Amino acid sequence: MYVIVQILQGCTAGNIIKDCDLSMSPRLLFGFCIALTLCLLMLHYFVSSRSIIELVGSCVDKGCFDLQVGEKFQPVIQTFVDATRFDGKINTKSKPQLGYLNFYVASSKLPGRLSWIKCNCAYIGSDTIICDEAFLRSFSSSVNFTRDSIYGKDADKIWEDVRRTLSKVNDDTSTNLAAWIIGHEIGHAVLHEASSSLRRIAMTREMENAADSYYLDRALAAKDPKAADKVSWALNQFIFQAVSLAYDNGKARIAASVDDVHDPWLLRAMALGQRIVDKSRNPADDFYKSLGQSISVEPTGSGVGSFCEFQNIREKAAKKQEQRLEEQPD
Ligand SMILES: [Zn+2]
């Protein structure tokens, strides 16, 4: 290190001993320490980026991911990478590629450092997003339209008539909700390149809001003229179910998000709904604001504020409906 300092001071290898002033000024030492720290940080960043890529790559080899499911999301992903550095560069089929947006869906429990990605999607840095398959599967029927929930147990005939319509509604809602999660993570990849949930490089709340805004701006800019209606519909389905299930004694009481950085999904859905209203022809509509007054985040609140609990939402809703039907007089 001493020799390096001397070289920085203008000494050459040949005259270090003879001509150079070998005393090190405190300022120079300070500057050198800063430079060394920066070098070490960059080295750490480089090595940990590499190891994430290698980790995911070996997982691709071992079959941790369902590459076909990943591929199915290509059209959704495309909406969110148009005109970005990932345009035309989506990789869902092979090991992570440099400069590509790499997207994978786990087919089973992920190993080692990836194992925390449960019931979620995450941007793990190095242009790579991983989703848990169980989480995406929960969107395959994200609203609670089942025969029993609407007409009771003996309603085969009526049910058959409307089944088709409801299943289309289910599909639309699921697709739009899944697009939210994926669009949000792509927002992190595009806007917050250096961040990583895997390396615990913290996302701030501002970054989280920016990722949600990224999703919404692009979802609404889609060519479909009814895009705003469809997104609102999907968000409202989620909001209504979550609120009605968490409603207890005058308020919907929900739990905070597990990571403490994101707001609970329910509040995020409402914030997005409000933004759509703000952009609409009737910006004075204060539906979400007044609904917000009936919601409180409490430690003992219901977990329905989280998408992770989607499965629970459906089960809880079915139970509630069952009770309602039993209580009905014949
Ligand atoms: Zn996020």
Instruction: Give the distance (Å) from ligand 1 centre to CA of residue 149.
Output: 33
Residue 105: beta bridge partners?
A: 131
In the three-class reduction of DSSP (H, G, I as helix; E, B as strand; rest coil), residue 19 is classed as coil
Written as one letter, the residue type at 208 is E
Q: Is pLDDT above 60 for 212?
A: yes
What pLDDT is recorded for position 146?
A: 54
What pLDDT is recorded for position 129?
A: 94
Distance, in Å, from the CA atom of 163 to the CA atom of 145, rounded to the nearest integer, reads 9
Instruction: Give the distance (Å) from ligand 1 centre to CA of residue 201.
Output: 12
Residues 36-86 pLDDT 10s: 766 666 565 555 555 888 989 999 999 999 999 899 899 999 999 999 999
Distance of CA 62 to the CA centre of its chain: 25
Contact 74, 64 (CB under 8 A): no
* pTM for the model: 0.71
Instruction: Give the distance (Å) from ligand 1 centre to CA of residue 280.
Output: 26
Averaged pLDDT, 243-269: 82
Reported confidence tier of residue 1, pLDDT bands at 50, 70, 90: very low
Instruction: Give the distance (Å) from ligand 1 centre to CA of residue 137.
Output: 20
Distance, in Å, from the CA atom of 99 to the CA atom of 90, rounded to the nearest integer, reads 9
Domain boundaries, the chain: 2-60, 63-327
Instruction: Give the distance (Å) from ligand 1 centre to CA of residue 105.
Output: 17
Residues 185-204 pLDDT 10s: 999 999 987 766 555 556 78
Residues having C-beta closer than 5 Å to ion ligand 1: 208, 211
What pLDDT is recorded for position 165?
A: 65
Share the mean pLDDT of the chain: 77
What pLDDT is recorded for position 5?
A: 45
Residues 149-190 pLDDT 10s: 555 555 566 556 556 666 666 677 778 888 998 999 999 999
Distance, in Å, from the CA atom of 217 to the CA atom of 282, rounded to the nearest integer, reads 18
Instruction: Give the distance (Å) from ligand 1 centre to CA of residue 211.
Output: 6
Instruction: Give the distance (Å) from ligand 1 centre to CA of residue 101.
Output: 16
Distance, in Å, from the CA atom of 215 to the CA atom of 72, rounded to the nearest integer, reads 19
Reported confidence tier of residue 17, pLDDT bands at 50, 70, 90: very low
Instruction: Give the distance (Å) from ligand 1 centre to CA of residue 287.
Output: 25
Distance, in Å, from the CA atom of 252 to the CA atom of 125, rounded to the nearest integer, reads 36
Which pair of structure tokens corresponds to residue 51? 């190891």
Q: Is pLDDT above 80 for 112?
A: yes
Instruction: Give the distance (Å) from ligand 1 centre to CA of residue 43.
Output: 26
Instruction: Give the distance (Å) from ligand 1 centre to CA of residue 170.
Output: 25
